[in-house]
Amino acid sequence: MNASFPDPPPAPPARNRPSARNGPSPVAGLPPLHLLIAAPRGFCAGVDRAIEIVERAIERYGAPVYVRHEIVHNRYVVDSLKAKGAVFVEELDEVPDGKPVVFSAHGVPKVVPLAATERGLDWLDATCPLVSKVHRQAERKVEAGRHILFVGHKGHPEVIGTMGQVPEGAMTLVETLDDVARLDFPVDKPLAFLTQTTLSVDDTAEIVAALKARFPAIVGPRAEDICYATSNRQAAVKAIAPRCQLVLVIGAPNSSNSVRLVEVAEREGTRARLIQRADEIDPAWLDGVTTLGLTAGASAPEVLVREVVARLAQTRSVVEEPVTTAEEHMVFKLPRQLVG
């Protein structure tokens, strides 16, 4: 499952444009730019699956296919799917009768597919299976009589979707250590905790430790909720950041996992910038930079990584060095409606 996207528009020509491949010669008197490219980076299995669901739905049903909310948090991906026939809407009531609809990779509250079924709509659930696993855990914890403390970011679609799996009032959102200190539950209250899948590994560990210290009987998931892709991308940034003067993260401002990568680099003591496209790079950022780190959030396609490398190569000789900290081979099955 590898979604394909058109190449970005070519970068404008530049004088003395160097090769983006290993080239030792300086450009315009500047030293070569040593580029550490983190791996893993970019698309994860859940994003690949979600995009393929939209593409296959368009092939199966014909355009337009409606998508509730951004399928993933990346403008380039969304625009590419729009060009193929996807129509993105905020709410289900914007979907015309008789048209297919896809729910985003972040997941939706239970009432959304129920409403789609009541209207007789053909709907496809592109929720990442790792998010769906958290949904099932939430249901089981509540069925067992426990109140859930959910570690996540208010307003994020994944948080809205997860909290929408259980009755209102059955889950309390925890964002910070201060939130933990403000919790006021009796000592005998049965509690459980779950977490959003795209959080900072280090920050979440601190909050979970605080929850366990405050409520020793609290029950957590058998395995960590933060997804493998989030953890792997953060580990890769930790590996490159100490060697760099600057780290560039390709991702959207509303992409939780991308914003976390910026924070991870900064925690290592390295400047970091979040960019969506190569044209957002300010040349002044590179003043005095001889080693630059580059990564991409889980919703950013590889073509945008290559676009950034090409833009850098307009003014500096770029010496690329991939830094691999893990191999990923995860593949998620498609919905049965799209198989066969």
Determine the 3-state secondary structure of 43 from DSSP. coil
Give the pLDDT confidence score for residue 163 in this predicted structure: 98
**What residues are annotated to the active site?**
158
- pLDDT for position 4: 57
pLDDT, tens digit, 9 for 90 and up, residues 196-216: 999 999 999 999 999 999 999
Percentage, residues of the chain above pLDDT 70: 91
- pLDDT, one tens digit per residue, over 111-128 is 999 999 999 999 999 999
pTM over 0.85: yes
Which residues fall within 8 angstroms of residue 307, CB to CB, at 6 or more apart? 8, 11, 277, 278
Question: Has residue 107 got a pLDDT over 70?
Answer: yes
pLDDT in tens, 205-255: 999 999 999 999 999 998 778 899 999 999 999 999 999 999 999 999 999
Q: What is the pLDDT of residue 6?
A: 57
State the Cα–Cα distance between residues 331 and 329, nearest whole angstrom. 6
> What is the C-alpha to C-alpha distance for residues 160 and 251, in angstroms, rounded to an integer?
21
SS3 1: coil
Q: What percent of the chain has pLDDT over 90?
A: 88
pLDDT band at 7 (very low <50, low <70, confident <90, very high): low
Average pLDDT over residues 87-102: 97
Mean pLDDT of the residues in the chain: 92
Query: According to the model, what pLDDT value does residue 251 have?
Result: 98
Q: 72-93: per-residue pLDDT in tens?
A: 999 999 999 999 999 999 999 9
